[in-house]
Amino acid sequence: MVSIETAGDDVTLRVLGSHRMWAVKRTIRFKRQQVVTAAPAERGLWPPWCRCPGTALPWVIVAGTYYGRGRKEFWDHVRKGKAIRIDLRNGPYTRIVVDVADPETALAALAPPASGPRASE
């Protein structure tokens, strides 16, 4: 499970509890501008084949950093978890797939900030 914290344009993902051990990671930081898409993770989505470092127990947990052709992904997902998928450009990873307590709130936190009304001249 991961918590998402935002401060201005900065986004910090914090890996919680024992998942720190499984994912071999505590935090991931990136700018909100680097988010290409953020959506609920599709069913049947799997990480690339090369894991380093991390954990994979089939049908139980997928956690850690995964590499594939031109991709570097971070995963922290359990079988019954509520996962979101974050695709990044020029970030520490090309894709992040993590379980969160409330996907709707997490996705709202990753949305670009709404611009205020313009003052008429």
Side chain identity at residue 60, one-letter code:
V
Q: Say what the pLDDT of residue 53 is.
A: 87
Side chain identity at residue 20, one-letter code:
R
34 φ/ψ angles, rounded to the nearest 5 degrees: -80, -10
Which runs of E-coded beta strand occur in 1-121? 2-7, 10-15, 27-31, 35-40, 50-57, 61-68, 71-78, 83-88, 95-99
Percent of the chain with pLDDT over 70: 93
Residue (of 50, 64, 65) closest to 21 by Cα position: 64
Average predicted confidence (pLDDT) for the chain: 88
pTM of the model: 0.87
pLDDT of 67-86, one tens digit each? 998 899 999 999 888 999 99
What mean pLDDT comes out for the span 20-36? 93
